[in-house]
Amino acid sequence: MKYRYVILIGLANFILMSTIFQIFRINDALPNFCIILSIVFVALVSDKHAYVYVVTYGALQDIFLGKILGINILIYILIVFLIIRLERVMFKGNFLTPVFLIAFGTIFYHMVFYIMMFFLQSTIPLSLLIVKIATEIVYNSILGLIFYAVIFKKLNGYKLGDFNA
């Protein structure tokens, strides 16, 4: 896959997440497709493609939606870095791999974002954040498993979890 396609995917994801996908809020939580797609890129395509994707999406998110420039880029790059380290010791054909990695990425994103906002004196009540994180973990994991399974089958030629292939 060429890098320009990854940049276009990041741009399309940003446009869809900031417009159309706002309708699909559950308990005031949206699925974070940046985390989902970056994990798909790390596990199934390549590390460099994941970095290009998160820098593109994080920059757009910081420039157009963020209060502080660079915070989302930094968090997404850290997530990709940690996911690369975790993914190397995990079996990519297992159902639990994308669920675990997406849940880890979601928790890490919100934890680091909350800590940075705390130090910048712009806090969110922790009780509201925990409910939102729990909803987003479930939402991201379900959608991420579907994305991961479809792309896994397309790239590898057999279904996710099909150990007899």
Q: What is the mean pLDDT of each run of 10 residues along the chain (165 residues)?
A: 92 94 89 94 93 96 90 96 92 87 96 88 80 93 93 82 60
Residue 133's domain comprises: 3-156
The pTM (predicted TM-score) of the whole model is 0.90
Check residue 42 and give its pLDDT: 94
Dihedral pair phi/psi, residue 162, rounded to 5°: -90, 90
Cα–Cα distances in Å, from 52 out to 58, 98, 129? 10, 20, 29
What tokens does 15 get?
A: 């446009």
Residue 161 lies in a domain: no
Check residue 162 and give its pLDDT: 67
Check residue 135 and give its pLDDT: 94
Count of the separate structural domains present in the chain: 1
CA-based nearest residue to 78, from 99, 107, 100: 107
Residue 14 lies in a domain: yes
d(CA 54, CA 57): 5
Q: Give me the amino acid identity at 20.
A: I
Residue 84 lies in a domain: yes
Residue 162 lies in a domain: no
Check residue 83 and give its pLDDT: 95
Residue 49 lies in a domain: yes
Residue 163 lies in a domain: no
Check residue 141 and give its pLDDT: 95
d(CA 61, CA 144): 20
**DSSP category for residue 29:** B
Check residue 164 and give its pLDDT: 56
